[in-house]
Amino acid sequence: MHEFGFDEFRCELQSIFQHVSLFLENHVEGVTFQPQEAGQTVEVRVDAGDPLPDESHFFVAVCANRPQIGNPTFVYVPRAANVLRERERHIDLLEHELADKNEWLDKAQRDLAELDARHRDLLAELERSNRWAEDLNRELEDRRARVAELQEELAREQQNAQRVVRELEADIESKTQWARNVDAEIKRQIEERVVAVEALHHTEKELQERTEWALRLNEEVSQLGRQLELVRASRWVRLGRKVGVGPAV
């Protein structure tokens, strides 16, 4: 929740506990001279110098409500603190890590080069796409202008078509009326022709009757002519004509 500074840490603890002993914890390098025989006394020597909280890694406090006896300096040297051996291990680990990182770096550089090439290709493709998009935009603007022109032309054509339709409707109406008049005239003429045909039939019938009457009359005249010739040829008529007696035939 919160990382204390040294003075803040001490003041906070002293506000609760009557006795506070503070220790400065540092991880330092050292050199050990340890005899081979076990059970020997270990002597520890620490370089003289004032402990500085600002230069310490951690703060450790021992707090109590009664006085504590002494504040000894404690040094703990683990087996892993063999600096040279640990340094060699660390160097070996670092060399392996460096090799891994170098390999990773080489791979990363290859990937970067590949990505850079792909990036250049993408930039070129993007440039082509941009030019294509600009061409499409220009073509679209041209198409829109053409569509506007066509719409205006269509509007004019529609107006002309409406005018032509109105003229055609008027013409059709006039021609329809003319056709009606012609139809009425034709009906009238047909009726007149029917009457004329009936009159003609009647005249033909009467002419045929008169022709037949004329033929009969002509036949009668022929018969009378023959009879008259017979009468003229008779000797009684000739004799009477000589003596001036009888009708003049």
Q: Write the pLDDT tens digit of every residue in 7-18.
A: 999 999 999 999
- Residue 56 placed within a domain: yes
Tell me which residue of 54, 53, 34, 56 sits closest to 44, measured CA to CA: 34
Q: Residue 242: its pLDDT value, please?
A: 66
Residue type, 46: V
Q: Residue 236: its pLDDT value, please?
A: 63
Q: How far is 57 from 21, CA to CA, in rounded Å?
A: 17
- Residue 141 placed within a domain: no
Q: How far is 137 from 135, CA to CA, in rounded Å?
A: 5
Total structural domains within the chain? 1
Instruction: Please tell me the pTM assigned to this model.
Output: 0.32
- Residue 64 placed within a domain: yes
- Residue 65 placed within a domain: yes
- Residue 55 placed within a domain: yes
Q: Which domain holds residue 74?
A: 6-81
- Residue 229 placed within a domain: no
Q: Write the pLDDT tens digit of every residue in 203-237.
A: 888 888 888 888 888 888 888 887 777 776 666 66
Q: Which residues contact 98 (CB under 8 A, 6 or more apart)?
A: none
Q: Residue 78: its pLDDT value, please?
A: 67
Q: How far is 207 from 199, CA to CA, in rounded Å?
A: 12
What is the average pLDDT across 150-158?
A: 91
- Residue 98 placed within a domain: no
Reduced to 3 states, what is the DSSP secondary structure of residue 52?
coil
At residue 238 the predicted structure's pLDDT band, cuts being 50, 70 and 90, is: low
Tell me which residue of 46, 43, 41, 9 sits closest to 26, measured CA to CA: 46
Q: Write the pLDDT tens digit of every residue in 194-205.
A: 888 888 888 888
Q: Which two tokens stand for residue 180?
A: 């009606």
- Residue 33 placed within a domain: yes
Q: Which residues contact 17 (CB under 8 A, 6 or more apart)?
A: 63, 64, 65
